[in-house]
A and B are shown apart, each in its own frame.
Chain A
Amino acid sequence: MPLYEKLKNIDRRVIYIFIALSVIIPLVFKIAFTEQASPIVQNIFDKIESLPEGSRVILSYDYSPSTAPEIQPMADALTRHILEKDLRLYNMALWAPGHNIATETTDRIIIAEFPEKVYGEDYLNLGFKAGNEFLIAVILTDLKKMYTTDAKGTDIDSIPMMQGVKNLRNFDLILSLGGGKPGLKEWILFAGDPGHIPVAGGATAVSAPNLYPYYPEQMLGLMGGMKGGAEYESALMKIYPQYKNKSHPGIDLMGPQAIAHLVIMIFVIIGNITYFIARKRGEER
């Protein structure tokens, strides 16, 4: 079979093999690039940087393990930045598996890297509650209507960080990570807009275009996909160089993503070449 015929009738499994290799090889050889934060990511960083010490920040884990490789770098970087700035961090989850991820992030980042931070005074896990966007609508006016205890079952009134917190309006920033529903869009529509609370966050690359319409009026910033996380990591390392020696999975995984993009482009070019040859030969119109 001539090369043209082979390329024209390329088996989809061949494409799959090349995509797999384009991810595996850069991972093995640790091909990595540097990043620079775009304005839409830098805005989030600047907002956190500008918040006074002790400000309250919600970090909502609105995703599941499926998208964790893409979203987790954002969660790690945000957690580090929030605690580095001595802000008060309130973890919660609109997705059930999000609570597990929040617990895992707490163990890996907060307990390991910020041993001086005290649970209940500097950070808190509110856990998962069912109710999707309507949970947000309820806690906009009365947080204790839905959260009577934290994730560990401790009475919410006995937690120092919860003193003076009545509802979402007592928070200075809401960060939602995910991109599905409920997620950042619901935080904007049900908390940010009606409560005039700054909202920002991160979403998978696939979902990010859905959220651009809310930027910058209703959403002060957005981290889109792996690149968004990598950009935030680079912004963090620029101001806090100590994080150059810590894990930065976003930047590390941009290498495989870059190569995979190139492989897809090569296949699209091959597809177009065979298409034009076929058209020239009159096989396709």
Chain B
Amino acid sequence: MQRLLGIFLIIGFLFPLTWISESFAQENPAFDDSAGITIAPPTNVKAYDHPGDAGGAIVVEWDLSPQDHPENDLILGYEIFRAVYPDGEYESIGVASPGHTSYMDANAEDEHEYIYKVTATSGNGPSATAISNPAGSSPEWINFGMTNLFIIGLIICSSVIYFIMHAKKGGKLFLRKIGGLEAIDDAIGRATEMGRPILFIPGIHDMDDVQTIAGLTILNYIAKKVAEYDSRLHVPVCRSIVMTTARESIKEAYLSAGRPDAYSDDFVHYVTDEQFGYVAAVDGVMVREKPATCFYLGAFFAESLIMAETGNSIGAIQIAGTAMPAQLPFFVAACDYTLIGEELFAASAYLSGEPKQLGSLKGQDVGKVIAMAAIGVGVLVETIYVISGSSAIGNLSSFIKNLFVLG
């Protein structure tokens, strides 16, 4: 205790420093009054249909007022007015900050054409106005701004499907060993030997999250093993649809293991949708039932460490897997094995050993090659540009970057 107080005394020494740093506080710079200056309006106002949308939006663009400079604070913003073309009355529809050269009118109706005027506002009142061309909005059939996404998606999907077909025809595929999945059988065996239950947590998301589906595919495998070993399975869930799906999956697993008689709906039960209420209940189950093995496979948030540390404290073997990057360090620290990101999605293919499923994993490697090549080329070109300063290489760098920007 004395040591602790010592530590706090040392920290207390740092406290007066707060006073020192406060003395460095800066005051708000005085506003530069600019009365008497005439404000020039923005110029070259254009209006056009916002591309690649379902209609209802028109983009208004202009060139800045010549007096719009960050250093002089003269311009307070731009006000945009709209009128139905040709004879409607103008009404103010919005404002844009100084330095901004566009505004999206998202309240357009497709059946009208509109005309816009833009005025620069200042402390002395508004400037003269500049008027746009008439423009209308309409829905489009194809969003060409997503062509790049379409092509990349097409390549990745095609390669996944190609390798699935390839594997179906008996093509050989190499898959590295995944420790966490190799350990599942041993973990179930250990629980059986100890006569203690196996706890399975499918995350806290619903069935619309692919992580939950990935978790349930592994649950199916685990349930089959549990049925074979005649062990006990406990699956508390926090979503009703997950409850019904998990039951269905376990029931089928017991059926295919030849143990339909051993199945009970009580293996899976609903607790609550509320995140921390669910954690409290799961921790309670852990402390009371002391499961020998805990699986955490699905989507997790802050509850990951609370559950994994409780599991650690009761000496359970723990296998986790999630695609939530922020929770991975917690699982790695507190669990025996952790499936990192894509390993969770690969798990069911890996466990089933089905060529068709394994082929899909190979196909996703093509996506990785594209990503690595794009990153490598992008970094190289940008680095050369920074070193050389060549505008041609700068343009090439921008071109590569824009290849991966959605319009």
| Residues A164 and B26 in contact in the complex (CB < 8 Å), given A52-B121, A66-B302 | no
Rounded to whole Å, the gap between the CB of B376 and the closest CB of chain A is: 18
For window 190-226 of chain B, which residues contact chain A by CB distance below 8 Å? Answer: 205
Instruction: Check if B180 is an interface residue, CB within 8 A of chain A.
Output: no
Q: Is the pair B95, A180 in contact by a Cβ cutoff of 8 Å?
A: no
Are B106's CB and A209's CB within 8 A?
Answer: no
Q: Is the interface of B mostly helix, strand, loop or mixed?
A: mixed
Chain A residues positioned under 8 Å from B378 (CB to CB)? none
- Which residues in chain B, 68-83, are within 8 Å of chain A measured between CB atoms? 76-77
Residue of B nearest to A140 (CB): B106
**Is A34 within 8 A of B22, CB to CB?**
yes
Q: Enumerate chain B residues within 8 angstroms of A169, measured Cβ to Cβ.
A: 57, 104, 106
> Which one of B17, B106, B324 contacts A33 once the chains associate, using CB atoms below 8 Å?
B17
Q: In the complex, what residue of chain B is closest to A17 when comparing beta carbons?
A: B4
Confirm or deny: A21 has a beta carbon within 8 angstroms of a beta carbon on chain B.
yes
Contacts of A272 in B (CB 8 A): none
B97 contacts the other chain (Cβ, under 8 Å)? yes
Q: Tell me the A178-195 residues at the B interface (CB within 8 Å).
A: 180-181, 193, 195
- Taking CB atoms and an 8 Å cut-off, the chain A residues in 5-24 that contact chain B are 12, 18, 21
Residues of A contacting B56 with CB < 8 Å?
A: 141, 166
- If A64-B275, A66-B276, A167-B106 touch, whether A50 touches B14 (CB-CB below 8 Å) is no
Interface size on B, residues (CB 8 A): 41
| Interface pair A31/B15, CB less than 8 Å apart | yes
- Shortest distance in angstroms between B102's beta carbon and chain A's nearest beta carbon? 9
List of B residues within 8 angstroms of A31 by Cβ: 11-12, 15
Interface flag for A277 (CB, 8 Å): no
Which residues of the other chain, B, contact A209 by a CB distance below 8 angstroms? 325-326
Interface residues of B (CB under 8 A from A): 4, 7-8, 11-12, 14-15, 17-18, 21-22, 25-28, 54, 56-57, 76-77, 93-98, 104, 106-107, 121, 205, 275-276, 299, 301-302, 313, 324-326, 406
Offer 23 A-B interface pairs, CB within 8 angstroms, sorted by A: A32-B18, A34-B18, A50-B97, A50-B98, A51-B97, A52-B97, A67-B302, A141-B56, A170-B94, A170-B106, A172-B95, A181-B205, A207-B301, A209-B326, A210-B324, A210-B325, A237-B25, A238-B26, A238-B28, A240-B28, A259-B11, A262-B7, A262-B11
- A interface list, Cβ under 8 A from B: 12, 18, 21, 25-26, 29, 31-34, 36, 50-52, 54-55, 64, 66-67, 141, 164, 166-170, 172, 180-181, 193, 195-196, 204, 206-207, 209-210, 237-241, 258-259, 262-263, 266
